Amino acid sequence: MNAPFSATGPAEHAPTPRRTGAPSMSVEWAALQDAAAAVAAMANLAAERVSPEIRNFPAVIRDIGGERLELAERSIADIGAMMRPGLTALLAVRARGQDATAPALTLWQEYHHARTALLALVPQQSDHGPRRSAG
């Protein structure tokens, strides 16, 4: 099946349009962190201390802008698309009285890998000024 084309070329390379009424990246990011905390608890992992790098990611990547911001927005949506059904499935497993530890650990690891890749969009020695709160 061929990819649809836009005026700028293949649709998969076209900029992602902003969704009207969509939650802000900061809100989506915070929701992901909450979902990840719930998954970690089901995996019997200790609560994660949220680092400034994680907490401030939306504000920092917005400051960077450009292609990195677009990639971050798509990646956050993709991670959410993974986490929502995964968390729903884990809750269903627990509701049946079954142990969800192993699948929760697997979902946590997938989330952690995706988040690590996403955080790598921010250069370590950034010349974008001091990190700031995403509030």
**How does pLDDT run across 34-62, given as a tens digit for each residue?**
999 999 999 999 989 999 999 999 999 99
Residues 66/68/69/74 CA torsion (nearest 10 deg) = 130
Tell me what pLDDT residue 7 has.
38
Distance CA 21, CA 95 (A): 33
In the predicted structure, residue 124 carries a pLDDT above the cut 50 = yes
Tell me what pLDDT residue 125 has.
61
pLDDT band at 128 (very low <50, low <70, confident <90, very high): low
In the predicted structure, residue 98 carries a pLDDT above the cut 90 = yes
114-126 burial by CB neighbour count: b if 16+ within 10 A, else e? bbeebeebbeeee
The amino acid occupying position 58 is P
